[in-house]
Each structure stands twice: as C-alpha cells, then as structure tokens.
Structure 1
Amino acid sequence: MTPPPSPESALAQPSLLQAMIAIAPKSVRIGCRVIRDGDEAHLLPEEARSIPARQPAMRRASGAARWIAHALLADVGVNDLAILRAPSGAPAWPDGITGSLAHDDEMAVAAVAPVSHFASLGIDVEPAQPLPDDIFALVATRADRTDAADRHLAGRILFCAKEAVYKAVYPLDRQILGYEDIEVDLDEGRAMTRTGRKVSLVYCVAPRVVVLAFVDAR
C-alpha cells in the first residue's frame, strides 16, 4: 500500500482547481484530484485492459485522471464512455471531443473541449518546486523565453509547458519531438514546434504547476 496523500496535497486541491479554472479558456472543462488508494477502481473494464502498466501507482494515477475526465465528459452529455489508452500512449477521446490527462506523484489533472473550438489540448502537472539543474540543461534552449515567470519556478514551468505542447501536437502531426524541437515563449503564452505548429499556453503556479496547451480549431 502506498502512503496516503500528504495533508498539504489534500488541502491544495480546491485552490488548485480554482487556479486551473481561472486560466482555462471558457470552452475548456478542467479538473483535478488528489490520487488516492483504490483509484484504480475508477478505470472502466475496457480502460483497465488497454493500460499495460501493472505498477499499482501507475494504475491508481490513470484511474484518478480518468475519473476526472468521465465527470467532465458527463457535463457535455457523454456518459460511461471508456477512454482507452491508444498504442501511442495517448488517451483516445470520443468523436467531437479533444482532451488530455496528466499526473505527478500525488495529483491528477484532466481537460476536455469540443473540437469545434480547439483542434487539440495538452495538459501537464508538476510540483511547484525548482527544476533540477541537470534536467533544466536537457529541456531549455536559447530560443525559450521565461523572463515573465517566477525565476525559481521558470525551469519547472518550461518543462511542464514542453510536455503539454507535445501532448497537444502529437495527435495532429504524429511527429516524435524532443525538448529541443519545441520553442516556448512564456512571456507571450505561446510555443512553436520544429514542424511549424503554433500552440497557445496558459499556466498557474500555485499550489502546483499546471500548464494547458491548446491548438485553435481552424
């Protein structure tokens, strides 16, 4: 059995949700949940079969993220529909819907929107802590702009942003991208990939770093 979520994480959930709702575009439904023991039970049978990971922690996180997504989909009249894991690892959304799931060790997040408003979404969540220097060296490029971000968290936000951008663009372009292939401008709230895909970004930093990336519908 894993340790229970820290009291700080449990208390942070309402404030994190409020912060996420504040940054999300109007037509994006967004949510979060502290990952708890037993959350793997929220996986529908088809979902459970589509997720190859057998580690209990991974299955709990997947169950928590899909629990959020099921509730968000129910808000738009889509009920009891399995969100399968595609061979690429991305969740497979119902027709007319785009979305994204993410989790760190303690918190799961999800976002969904109609494809009539957004071609694709990507979301990522990370602890609100400085990014280790060795990871920052792998993630950052000279083209990235982070001046507007909190200097202690800029690296973490940048890392989170590139993860979210990749999730948003892969379903559209089917291109494997490295961190060096994504140019992020946190000052302007945008990113561009080496394939020329333009992505918009919004983020919050307390009580966790959450970045939402989105590609407008054409």
Structure 2
Amino acid sequence: MAAIAPPGVGVGCRSIRDGDEAHLLPEEAGSIPARRPAMRRASGAARWIAHSLLSNIGINDFPVLRSPSGAPVWPDGISGSLAHDDEMAVAAVASITDVGSLGIDVEPAIALPDEIAALVATSIDVVGAVDRQLAGRILFAAKEAVYKAVYPLDHEILDYGDIAIDLSASRATTTTGRRATLAYCLAPRIVVLAFVR
C-alpha cells in the first residue's frame, strides 16, 4: 500500500482484531457514538494506525476525535483520512504543505452488487482496463475517497453523480470544481487514496 502514496503521505493498514477498541484514547472513545463492539474495534484499529503515522511526523498522543459530521479531526496543519471495512482498517496522514487534503477508502476485492453499482457509476466515469468484475467496487471506493478529500475543503455534501472518476488517468473531478489525484491497489483489499494538492 505504501507504493501508492505520493511523497509526504504516510499510509498504513492492519487487520481488525479483537481488543482493538482498547487503542482508542479516552477522548476518542467519548467522541465515537458507536456502541456496537465491531464498530468500536474498527475505529480503534484505524486510530491506532493514525497515531503511529502522526508519531512518525513528531505528533504524539493526539486524540483523533470524531466531529459531528463524522469526519476525523486532525491536528492543525495536518490532513488525514480513516476508513475500515469489516476486516481491515486503513489511514493516511500528511502535512498540508505536502498535500492539501486526503481521502482514503477500503473495500473487499469482490464485485459490487448490481443495485449499488447502478447508483455509483455514471456515463462520464472511465474505468479503462480495470477488471470488469471489480470496476464497480473500485469506483465506489474512489468516490468515497474523493468525497473524504474534498468535504473538508468545500463543506458540500456530494452524491455519487457529483464525482466523475477517470481511473485510466488517475483523476477525479467534482461538480464543485475540485480535482483530485487517485492511487489504488487491489490486493488483498481494494484501497483507494485521493489527494488534492
């Protein structure tokens, strides 16, 4: 996964494990309303990665709180993103001097159900030479990652149709005029990183 990140962006992933909820700092635990143990474990795993990435750039013991919008709150001067599915957690962190904003998403490397794919894909999306079985899932993850990258900049709620993806050019554009660069990997999970300079 590190191979997909541009210079200055730290990324990490790990399998979600029993007991990962213990990685939540007390302030984080209080900011996350999820009561289901699986959700708290996933949040703990993602924040454990984020704490390690922040520590790598000299920021220690910073609680990554959940804002009312659901987005994580990063230290001043830092852009970051968290994601998880049922089995894996991922995080990305960078100084805003390197990357203005980041978004990351993780999905299982399986076909997206047809009814969801119909909501996600638009006629202007370009998938290029991507495996047709995984194209819908990659588009889904890419649009989620782009949304996470641009929401902190514009504070606009975007629908799937508001984000155009061109996987062959590794680019995305939004109806708000933002352009993001995309990078992704397919194994063992689909992980998409979106970043705005």
- Shorter-chain TM-score category? over 0.9
1:115-194 correspondence to structure 2 within 5 Å: 115-194=96-175
Q: Structure 1 length as normaliser, TM-score? A: 0.89
How far off is 1:151 after superposition?
1.5
Q: Which runs of 5+ in 1 are unaligned?
A: 1-19
Identity of aligned residues (%): 72
| Residue identity opposite 2:55 in structure 1 | A
Aligned counterpart, 2:66: 85
How far off is 1:24 after superposition?
0.7
Cα RMSD over matched residues? 0.6
Aligned counterpart, 1:207: 188
Q: After TM superposition, where is structure 1 displaced by more than 6 Å over at least 4 residues in a row?
A: none
Aligned counterpart, 1:73: 54
Counterpart selection for 1:32 from 10, 13, 16: 13
| Alignment partners' CA distance in 1, 2:15 and 2:183 | 22
Q: Deviations over 1:74-111 (max 9, x none)?
A: 00110001000011100000011100000000000000
Q: Which runs of 5+ in 2 are unaligned?
A: none
Q: Tell me, what secondary structure is at the counterpart of 2:61?
A: coil
How far off is 1:149 after superposition?
1.2
Counterpart selection for 2:31 from 41, 50, 56: 50
How far off is 1:148 after superposition?
2.4
| Alignment partners' CA distance in 2, 1:55 and 1:33 | 20
Q: Structure 2 length as normaliser, TM-score? A: 0.99
Q: Deviations over 1:126-150 (max 9, x none)?
A: 0001111111000000000002212
Aligned counterpart, 1:6: none
Counterpart selection for 1:196 from 156, 173, 177: 177
| Alignment partners' CA distance in 1, 2:3 and 2:43 | 25
Q: Tell me, what secondary structure is at the counterpart of 1:32?
A: strand
Length, aligned pairs only = 197
| Residue identity opposite 1:165 in structure 2 | V
